[in-house]
Amino acid sequence: MTESDNLIFQTLMPLKTAVEEKKNCSVFGLSFGEKSLFLCSQKRQILFVTENLAEANKLAKELECFGKKVKTIFYKQSEFLLASLSFGQNVANMFSSLQALCKSSVDCLIVTPEVLMQKFPSKKQFFDLIISIKKGKTYNQKQLIQNLTNAGYHRTDLAQNVGDFSVRGDIVDVFNITDDLPTRIEFFDDEIESLYHYSSDDFKRLESVEKIDICPLVIFNVENKSQLFSEVEKDFSQTLKTLPANEAVLLKSAFEEFRVNFDAGNFSYVQNWLAPFMPNTNITSFLNQDAIVVFDDVKRVFDVVSSEYKKFDEQISSLINSGNALLKHKDFYISQNKVFNIDFQLLSFQSITSSNRVFDPQVVLSFRSTAQTNYFGNYNLLLEDVKYYLEFKNTVIIFAGTKNESAYLSKFLLQNKIENKIASLSEVVPNGVYIIPKDVAYGGIFVEDRVVVIGTEELVKKSTKQIVSSQKREEFTLPKIGDYVVHESFGIGLCVAIQKLKFTEYEKDYVVLQYAGGDKLYLPTEQIGQISAYVAGEGTPK
């Protein structure tokens, strides 16, 4: 049993059971902390799809607290013309993530919805492009040069920038995209005699390394050059017939530029013209067979993908008509009707009761959650909450991070007559306050279990400076049916009902807010502080 297993309380057992039975689930009402703690407990690989980059970064931090290996891809190819790839951080993350997935060293891959549209090779095809160099092993130097070219590296006089390599006698220098420094490979005949990093400023030798895996800079491996070129040439001829004279001249010029670079093996420069000719294989081809695909706010994921396809259709039609792209460029991405054809167990987290347009769930679960307080080092505020939790016989688990912070917090609580214990998770028993000297970024309030988990980030993270109005917010009571209100996360909604509902074994009062398109949010009355009155003059808000 791992530490994260100790944080799966009775509240989440229905979800745990459904996932273990490999049923597709739609889940409503979990807070971020509850979602993240549940995902931390999973032994299977996770693909987490979210449009919210702030939550993506928070989840990565939470998973890493439990020793999980996390990778991210927030990049989608959106350049359709001939061009060299710009090696920004998102591009580097994409290639390093693909390499890590090939080596099965990823517990969770976090991606944005647009990544699902992107065409990818199979895991084996990308793995074959990875160049592994080990000191003392044999490797033909000419073959290495060819493999670097096939992998998208650019031969220069000096390898000073990411993606460059150079050759001088028995020395090959290469700047691997996953490294901070270039690497020098020294040969003795076909043996790797020496392998070390060096400074790109003064070329001074730095630390020696035993092995380097050179990550590819191209998505696709060009295996049959003549066949692929024939396919591109055929589509070029068909596109040419549809264009007026001036636009045809532009396309002929672009095709000649493609041909020259293709013949030279500069595949990183022409990959935007090669992508349309590749199979409809998406990022899930890199996952383990028993992986779970998780959609965070599945409605938002669907809407983002639909919007991106609409923009793409308009943009690519314009490029084709102006002689800058081929007819085949319409197949640049995965077919829209296949983008959500995912052959894995699927799990969606949802806040608003709307239809799941990505998949049909076999199990639908609803939970109730309570907003978590961020203390930001304000121990007096923490003290008030701990007293409140203990009054209602809750167990309070506080992740304080370090031993020193744990000791300080324990002393503070004791001075204020709050008994507590510095302990490990396995020592926690019902009732009482437990301080854990470990980093777990975010917690949650498990109402049915009477357990409160406070994460390290919520406890000690310093808040950013904010401008606060000197006027106190007027106390807001329950809205009336027909009133417009503003939710702090979801914006302006219309109150259409206040009613008792039973989503779990407990019946409670909910404020029902309706949004554009008919989506509804069921807000527990104890979370009424998340909404305020809509004040913007007369009439209906737009």
- Which pLDDT score, from 0 to 100, does residue 518 have? 76
Amino acid at 69: K
Residue 52, helix vs strand vs coil: coil
Last residue of a domain, one of 189, 214, 239: 214
- Which pLDDT score, from 0 to 100, does residue 335 have? 93
24 lies in the same domain as 117: yes
Last residue of a domain, one of 214, 238, 262: 214
In this model, does residue 424 exceed pLDDT 50? Answer: yes
Q: Is 79 exposed, middle or buried (0-12, 13-18, 19+ CB in 10 A)?
A: exposed
Does a structural domain hold residue 265? no
Identify which of 284, 162, 148, 269 has the alpha carbon closest to the alpha carbon of residue 216: 148
Decide: 372 and 447 in contact? Cβ < 8 Å: no
| Distant-in-sequence contacts of 310-315, Cβ < 8 A, 24+ apart | 315/80
At 492-523, the pLDDT tens digits run 888 888 887 765 445 667 888 888 777 788 88
- Which pLDDT score, from 0 to 100, does residue 474 have? 43
Average pLDDT over residues 209-229: 90
Last residue of a domain, one of 195, 214, 233: 214
173 lies in the same domain as 203: yes
- Which pLDDT score, from 0 to 100, does residue 531 have? 80
In this model, does residue 345 exceed pLDDT 70? Answer: yes
In this model, does residue 70 exceed pLDDT 80? Answer: yes
For CA atoms 319, 320, 321, 323, give the dihedral sign: positive
d(CA 379, CA 123): 50
In this model, does residue 465 exceed pLDDT 70? Answer: no
Decide: 376 and 463 in contact? Cβ < 8 Å: yes
Domain range spanning residue 399?
379-460
In this model, does residue 3 exceed pLDDT 80? Answer: no
- Which pLDDT score, from 0 to 100, does residue 535 have? 66
Identify which of 404, 398, 405 has the alpha carbon closest to the alpha carbon of residue 423: 398
- Which pLDDT score, from 0 to 100, does residue 79 have? 85
Identify which of 441, 430, 533 has the alpha carbon closest to the alpha carbon of residue 479: 533
In this model, does residue 339 exceed pLDDT 80? Answer: yes
d(CA 20, CA 38): 12
- Which pLDDT score, from 0 to 100, does residue 2 have? 55
Does a structural domain hold residue 259? no
In this model, does residue 1 exceed pLDDT 50? Answer: no
Does a structural domain hold residue 242? no
19 lies in the same domain as 60: yes
At 132-155, the pLDDT tens digits run 999 999 999 999 999 998 898 989
Identify which of 359, 292, 305, 296 has the alpha carbon closest to the alpha carbon of residue 113: 305
Does a structural domain hold residue 374? no
Identify any residues that bridge with 296 across adjacent strands, giving them in sequence order: 349
Q: Higher model confidence: residue 184 or residue 280?
A: 184
What is the tally of structural domains in the chain? Answer: 4
429 lies in the same domain as 391: yes
In this model, does residue 347 exceed pLDDT 60? Answer: yes
Edge-to-edge strand ranges of the sheet holding 171-174: 154-155, 164-168, 171-174, 183-188, 191-198, 205-208
* Whole-number percent of the chain with pLDDT over 90: 60
- The mean-pLDDT minimum among 204-208, 218-222, 320-324, 425-429 falls in 218-222
Does a structural domain hold residue 371? no
Q: Terminal CA-to-CA distance of the chain, rounded, Å?
A: 52
171 lies in the same domain as 109: no
CATH code assigned at 69: 3.40.50.300
- Which pLDDT score, from 0 to 100, does residue 448 have? 82
Identify which of 230, 233, 236 has the alpha carbon closest to the alpha carbon of residue 327: 236
- Which pLDDT score, from 0 to 100, does residue 470 have? 36
- Which pLDDT score, from 0 to 100, does residue 351 have? 75
CATH code assigned at 164: 3.30.2060.10
Average pLDDT over residues 5-24: 85
* Whole-number percent of the chain with pLDDT over 70: 91
Residue 28, helix vs strand vs coil: strand
d(CA 326, CA 317): 10
At 82-131, the pLDDT tens digits run 887 777 788 889 999 999 999 888 999 999 999 999 999 889 989 999 99
- The mean-pLDDT minimum among 208-217, 368-377, 395-404, 472-481 falls in 472-481
350 lies in the same domain as 395: no
- Which pLDDT score, from 0 to 100, does residue 472 have? 38
176 lies in the same domain as 88: no
Does a structural domain hold residue 201? yes
- Which pLDDT score, from 0 to 100, does residue 475 have? 46
At 369-398, the pLDDT tens digits run 777 788 888 899 999 999 999 999 999 999
C-alpha dihedral over 423, 426, 430, 431, to 10 degrees?
A: 10
Average pLDDT over the chain reads 88
- Which pLDDT score, from 0 to 100, does residue 411 have? 96
10 lies in the same domain as 102: yes
Does a structural domain hold residue 185? yes
CATH code assigned at 529: 2.40.10.170
33 lies in the same domain as 107: yes
Average pLDDT over residues 288-313: 94
Per DSSP, which regions of 169-322 are E strands? 171-174, 183-188, 191-198, 205-208, 211-214, 292-296
25 lies in the same domain as 116: yes
417 lies in the same domain as 490: no
- The mean-pLDDT minimum among 163-167, 409-413, 474-478, 531-535 falls in 474-478
At 446-464, the pLDDT tens digits run 888 899 999 999 898 654 4
Does a structural domain hold residue 255? no
108 lies in the same domain as 13: yes
In this model, does residue 332 exceed pLDDT 50? Answer: yes
Amino acid at 226: S
Amino acid at 45: Q
225-240 and 267-274 helices, crossing angle to 10°: 50
* pTM for this model (two decimals): 0.81
d(CA 257, CA 270): 9
- Which pLDDT score, from 0 to 100, does residue 320 have? 96
